[in-house]
């Protein structure tokens, strides 16, 4: 019988709650540069016990296309060694008609991600979903009606950024959707600067909280760094950002590249078990078979020497040192039909049938099938022995 395993894992349990150091490159424009988002994110992380080493390229108004030829951006990408690279497109372009976004935005997003991975193979590209203008995009309303309102513009941004994340096996930092939640539930908190476009300090702090939870998959609630904000406002922004990111990791494609351990086994009988794996995002395997034996094969058969229950540990790994572990039990492994001792009855079996000897007291021999039905019942004198051919037993 083949056995498959489905594991439901709380992602928080996979992310170690220990201090981490991460090298982060921010690529964007003024939405990244205003209030120095990279530095704000660094200080926020530090107050939570984690270290970010940050660099940035954020010339005003530049697009992804512009970054593909920007010397500062390219030099930073070529430097390599990045753990996370944040990508922020020009604030309006991803909200434009799909056909325009498909030609003016998407190809350059892919070009940047490809270059990032060429120089930092284990980096996580993170698309920074921005927010709609406070009252919609008046400059482009007549040209493209969906952006006439904040809500319409935000929805277009959401669609485009999630598409870029999915197309490039990247994560999305959903700052725009966190922004939307604050606007709906805490309208008194001013997220916009006076131009109705760029972030206020509160807006940038909200994005910093979003970035932290995206990078580390942990809550920012309790961070002691609050920039210049009132502590109560900072706490509210921490809570909202953490909730939106962590409640929907799969929506934001966060963790899509993580190794996922998916082991299977088939009990062949007589102590032989076949193991195989259908894991994803993995390049290596390690099996602890519970009897002192190990294997690094993807598929193999193992012979157990003794009857019993065994606990198997399977670890799937990737080339970046990430891993996922699954433990499962092999219940009731039976090596063979064992001699029944202590009563004077001795039973041995092979493919042809059963050999039975009785050196104890006389008694009645009964043979049962797995459903508890009696297949044979007869008196055995002492001492005596007999052979029961396998062909004797009826098929049921």
DSSP 11: G
Domain residue spans in the chain? 15-246, 263-333, 345-392
27-47: per-residue pLDDT in tens?
999 999 999 999 999 999 999
How far, in Å, are 276, 283, 348, 374 from residue 382 at the CA level? Answer: 49, 61, 18, 22
Which among 47, 114, 129, 103 has a CA at the least distance from the CA of 77? 114
> Is the pLDDT reported for residue 229 higher than 50?
yes
* CATH number of this structure's domain 15-246, picked from the four choices 3.20.20.80, 1.10.10.10, 3.40.50.1370, 3.40.50.1110: 3.40.50.1110
Which among 54, 27, 5 has a CA at the least distance from the CA of 128? 27
Separation between Cα atoms, residue 132 and residue 129, nearest integer Å = 10
Q: What is the 3-state secondary structure (H, E, C) of 118-159?
A: HHCCCCEEEEECCCCCECECHHHCCCCHHHHCHHHHHHHHHH
Separation between Cα atoms, residue 41 and residue 312, nearest integer Å = 42
- Give the percent of the chain with pLDDT over 90: 78
Hey, what are 68's tokens?
């593909």
pTM assigned to the model: 0.79
Which among 212, 305, 240, 235 has a CA at the least distance from the CA of 20? 212
Dihedral through CA 33, CA 34, CA 39, CA 43, nearest 10? -150
Separation between Cα atoms, residue 282 and residue 258, nearest integer Å = 8
Separation between Cα atoms, residue 315 and residue 286, nearest integer Å = 5
Beta sheet of 272-277, edge-to-edge order = 2-4, 263-269, 272-277, 299-303
Whether 15-246 and 263-333 share one fold: the answer is no
Separation between Cα atoms, residue 342 and residue 333, nearest integer Å = 22
Going 252 to 256 to 258 to 259, the CA torsion angle's sign is positive
Cis peptide before 125 (omega within 30 of 0): no
332-389: per-residue pLDDT in tens?
888 865 544 455 667 776 667 777 777 777 777 777 666 667 777 777 777 777 777 7
Separation between Cα atoms, residue 340 and residue 348, nearest integer Å = 9
Which among 94, 34, 91, 36 has a CA at the least distance from the CA of 62? 91
Mean pLDDT of 270-294: 96
Residue-level pLDDT at 342: 52
How far, in Å, are 31, 141, 199, 321 from residue 138 at the CA level? Answer: 19, 5, 18, 48
135-182: per-residue pLDDT in tens?
999 999 999 999 999 999 999 999 999 999 999 999 999 999 999 999
55-72: per-residue pLDDT in tens?
999 999 999 999 999 999
Is 2.60.40.10 the CATH classification of the domain at 263-333?
yes
Residue-level pLDDT at 337: 54
Which among 206, 216, 217, 215 has a CA at the least distance from the CA of 241? 206
Mean pLDDT of 199-209: 99
Sequence-ordered list of residues with C-beta below 8 angstroms from that of 115, at least 6 positions apart, any chain:
68, 74, 77
> Is the pLDDT reported for residue 265 higher than 60?
yes
Residue-level pLDDT at 388: 74
Residue-level pLDDT at 343: 59
Residue-level pLDDT at 6: 39
268-281: per-residue pLDDT in tens?
999 999 999 999 99
Going 277 to 280 to 286 to 288, the CA torsion angle's sign is negative
Residue-level pLDDT at 380: 75
CB-based contact 220:245 (threshold 8 Å): no
Computed over every residue of the chain, the mean pLDDT equals: 90
Sequence length of the chain is 396
């Amino acid at each position: 019988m083949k056995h498959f395993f489905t594991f439901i894992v709380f992602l928080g349990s996979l992310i170690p709650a220990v201090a981490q150091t991460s090298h982060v490159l921010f690529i964007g424009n003024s939405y990244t540069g205003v209030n120095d988002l990279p530095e704000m994110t660094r200080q926020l992380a530090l107050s939570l016990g984690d270290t970010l080493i940050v660099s940035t390229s954020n010339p005003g108004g530049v697009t992804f296309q512009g970054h593909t030829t920007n010397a500062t951006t390219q030099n930073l990408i070529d430097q390599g060694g990045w753990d996370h690279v944040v990508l922020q497109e020009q604030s309006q372009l991803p909200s434009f008609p799909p056909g325009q976004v498909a030609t003016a935005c998407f190809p350059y997003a892919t070009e940047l991600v490809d270059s990032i991975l060429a120089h930092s193979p284990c980096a996580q590209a993170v698309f920074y979903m921005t927010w709609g203008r406070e009252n919609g995009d008046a400059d482009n309303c007549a040209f493209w009606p969906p952006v006439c309102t904040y809500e319409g513009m935000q929805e277009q941004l959401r669609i485009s950024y999630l598409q870029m994340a999915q197309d490039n096996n990247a994560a999305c930092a959903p700052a725009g959707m966190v922004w939307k939640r604050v606007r709906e539930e805490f309208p008194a908190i001013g997220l916009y600067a006076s131009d109705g476009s760029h972030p206020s300090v509160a807006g940038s702090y909200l994005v910093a909280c979003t970035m932290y939870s995206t990078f580390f998959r942990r809550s920012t609630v309790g961070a002691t760094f609050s920039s210049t904000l009132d502590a109560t406002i900072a706490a509210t922004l921490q809570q909202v950002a953490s909730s939106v990111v962590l409640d929907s990791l799969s929506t934001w494609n966060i963790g899509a590249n993580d190794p996922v351990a998916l082991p299977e086994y088939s009990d062949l009988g007589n102590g032989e078990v076949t193991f195989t794996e259908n894991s994803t995002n993995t390049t290596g395997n390690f099996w602890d078979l519970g009897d002192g034996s190990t294997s690094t094969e993807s598929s193999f058969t193992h012979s157990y020497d003794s009857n019993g229950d065994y606990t198997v540990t399977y670890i799937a790994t990737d080339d970046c040192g990430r891993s996922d572990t699954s433990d499962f039990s092999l219940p009731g492994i039976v090596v063979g039909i064992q001699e029944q001792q202590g009563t004077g009855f001795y039973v041995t079996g092979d493919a042809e049938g059963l050999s039975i000897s009785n050196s104890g007291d006389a008694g009645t021999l009964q043979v049962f099938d797995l459903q508890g039905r009696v297949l044979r019942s007869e008196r055995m004198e002492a001492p005596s022995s007999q052979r029961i051919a396998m062909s004797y037993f009826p098929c049921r």
